[in-house]
Amino acid sequence: MLEEQGYTVVSPKNASDVTAVVVTGMDNNLMNIQNITTKAPVIDATGKDPYEILSLIRELEI
């Protein structure tokens, strides 16, 4: 959906220059430590539908 709206979706390994990082509970390792390092805001997608996530990303661009 994000790509359909003109966003580029990248792997967390390439998240150095992104608008936001979208994560789910599955992005945590076994010790519940998230291992993504970025200065971008992190959006927890747990329980959100794609439209809610898109709205949160658009708010960051304002």
For the chain, the domains span 3-60
CB-based contact 9:54 (threshold 8 Å): no
The pLDDT of residue 49 is 95
Burial of 27 from C-beta contacts in 10 A (0-12 / 13-18 / 19+): middle
CB-based contact 35:28 (threshold 8 Å): no
The string of pLDDT tens digits covering residues 7-61 is 999 887 777 788 998 888 665 554 555 565 678 888 989 999 999 999 999 999 8
Give the number of other CB atoms < 10 A from CB of residue 48: 15
